[in-house]
Amino acid sequence: MASKAAAAAAAAAAASSKYGPLWGRGYETLSNRRILSVSGTFDHATSYLQGLVTSDLLSEPKAPREESMENVHTLSGVVASPPPASSDEGAVAVDGDTKLNEKIASIPPVRFTSQLRSTCFLDHRGRILTDALLWKRTLLDNGSSSNTASSTTTTSSKSTTEYLIDIPGNTADLLLSHLNQHKLRRSKIKLVDKSNELSVHAVYGTLNATGAPEGYMAAMDPRHPSLGMRILSVGDEMLNDKSNPNNVASSESASIDNDALSTSSNKRQQRHHHFETLMNNFFPPVPGTYSVLRKLSGIAEGDEITSKTPLECNQEFLNAISFSKGCYLGQELTARSQYVGVIRKRIVPIMIVDVDMEVPKPWVMASMIQDLGEKDGVEKVFGTIKTVGEEEERKMKSEGNDGNEVEEETTEKKKRLPQLAGYIPPPLPRISAAGAGSIVSMMMGSVNMQHELPSSGGGANPQEGMSVNGEPQHETITEEQLVKLQVSGEQLQAEIKELATPGTSIIDKKDGKTIGKIISSPASGTTVLLAQMRLDRLGLLGTNDGPNKWSLTNKILIGESTKEYRYLPYLPLWWPEIDKETGKEKIVDEVVVEEDELEGL
C-alpha cells in the first residue's frame, strides 16, 4: 500500500517538479485587470510595440527557469535524492512502474510561446510605467480569430495582427496615454480599450494549458508556472448564449438577467458568468488567490513598480527583458545597468514576525551559513565531514572499535557527500509560494496540522529539530497553546496591515539606517509583504562581514512605529544565483572534468 501511495505521489509531482510545488486547485476572475488592444495589418502592430516594450516580439520567449529539486529541499534540512530522469518530451520516469510511466508520459509538456509573454513599458528615462502580459492573435479575413501565434504562420494581406495587453487596472490609464502619445499620425495601427468587452481569468493547480474551449485563449503564466494558467475570454459565442444553466457558480450569477447581459455595457459581466458556469464543474472558485499568490511568490506589479528600474524589480528574472533586441524607449538605462552597473537593491518577499517568536529552521540554517561561510556553514548544518581514511580506520580497529560500525559510518558519509559535492547553498532560504504559505499559516496558528508545529531548531546544536534521517521533527502543542498562537497571530497581522503601507521605511534598529522600503501591503491572512531591500543587508552583495549580512537576531522598526519586529526574507524559486559583486545573475563558467578526475571518484 505504501508503494502505491508513493507511486501516486510521484505521478502527481511529475508535472510540477521542474517548477516547484503548485498552489491548490481553483479558479478566479481577475476583475481588476484591464485589456488594451493594439492591432494593425501586416506587421504594423508588431513594429509599433517592438519600439516600446522591453521584450523581443520577433523571437519566441524563453521558458521560465527550471528548479533543481536539490535547491528546493537542501536548505530546509533534507538532502535531496537525485531527481528522476526526464525524457525529451519532459515526462519524468519512475523506475519499476510501467503503468505509472505511461500515465506520466501522457502529461502534456509545459509550453511557452509567443501567444503570451511578459514585458514592461518604460518611459524616456528608462523607468517602468507598468508591467504587462502580452497576448497575440491573428484576426483572419472572415472576421474570425486564430489563437495560435506561430511565427511561421502565413497570413494574407488583409489579415490583422492584434496584441491584447493584460495589465493591472491601476496603471491602465497611464499606459493608454503613453501609447497614444507615441502613435504617429501615419501609424497604421488601432488603439482600443477593450476592458469592458473582454475578461481575464486564472486557474490554479494545473500545468496543462492545452485544449482551451472555443472563444478562450489559455497559456501558462510566462513569468512562472506556479502563478497559474492565464485565460482570456475573447470569443463572441458566450455573448449570444441565452441559455440559463442549471449549475452556476453562485446564486448571484444565477440571478443575472440574460437580456441585460446581452447589452454591450455588460459584455464583461456576461463573460464572467459564462466562465464561472464552465469552470464550476471542474475547479472551486477561489477569489482573491492571485493577490496572495503573487506576493508569496515575490512578484510586484502595476503601480508597485512604477518609476523604478526594471532590474531593481527583477524583470530580467521574469523573462520580461531582452538584452539582444534592437533599440526601444528607455533601453539605455536598462542596458547600462545590466552591463556596467551594480544592482544594490531588489524587490524581495519578507515575512514580519514578533521578536519573541521562534525562527523557523530554514532561516536558522541561512543565518548559520552566512555567519560561518558557505563551506563551513554546510558542514555545520548537515554534519558532513571527511570520510574516514584507511589509516584512521586501522587505528580505530586497533583501539577496539567495532570494524562493522566504522564501515557503516564510512558508507553513510560516502552516501551523503556526493549529494552535496559542489553544492553552494543560497544565503537565504529558497521557498515556493505554497511553502511560504504553509510556514506562515503554522506560525500564525491558521492551521493546526494535527496540533504539531515544526521545531525551529534554534538551540546551540545545529541539528536540533531534525531527525536522524534529515526530516523535520515536530513538537506537539496543546489546544490552549494553539488558541494563544491564533490570537497573537491575528494581532500581529492587524499591526502589520496598519503599519506596512507602500512607501514606509524599514529601519535597522542596530544602526538606525534604512535598509528597505515597503512597496505592497501584506498578503491577505499573512504578514508576508514585498519590499525593496538593500542586497548587502541580505547577504547577497559584498562580503558577509560586519553589517553586510542577514542576521537571525535582527530587529527592525517599521516607519514611525517604536515597536520592534523581526524580518525573515526568502528567495523565490524563480530567482537565479546572485553574483555578490554585481547583484545580478551569476554567470557560471562551464566546468570541464578530466577523465582521470572521474576515475578518482
All three cell numbers of 31, joined, read 476583475
Question: Which of residues 83 and 239 earns the better pLDDT score?
Answer: 239
pLDDT digits (tens, 9 = 90+) for 119-161: 999 999 999 999 999 999 998 765 556 654 444 444 455 688 9
Cell numbers for 556, please give them: 527592525
pLDDT at 249 over 80: no
Lookup: cell for 298: 515575490
Q: How many helices (H) and strands (E) does the chain have?
A: 17, 18
Is it the case that residue 218 has pLDDT exceeding 60? yes
Q: Whole-number mean pLDDT of the chain? A: 77
CA distance 280 to 272: 12
Does residue 415 register a pLDDT over 50? no
Cα–Cα distance measured from residue 599 to residue 595, given in angstroms and rounded to the nearest whole number: 6
Question: In this predicted structure, what is the pLDDT of residue 482?
Answer: 81
Query: Do the Cβ atoms of 229 and 24 come closer than 8 Å?
Result: no
- Judged against a pLDDT cut of 60, whether residue 475 lies above it is answered with no
The CA distance from 224 to 65, in Å, is 8
Higher pLDDT: 239 or 502? It is 502
- For the chain, the straight-line distance linking the first and the last C-alpha, in angstroms and rounded, comes to 38
The pLDDT, as a whole number, for residue 515 is 97
Does residue 111 have a pLDDT over 90? no
pLDDT confidence of residue 245: 44
Residues whose CB is less than 8 angstroms from the CB of residue 579 and which lie 6 or more positions away in sequence, other chains included: 585, 586, 587
The SS3 of residue 269 is: helix
Three-state secondary-structure class, residue 431: coil
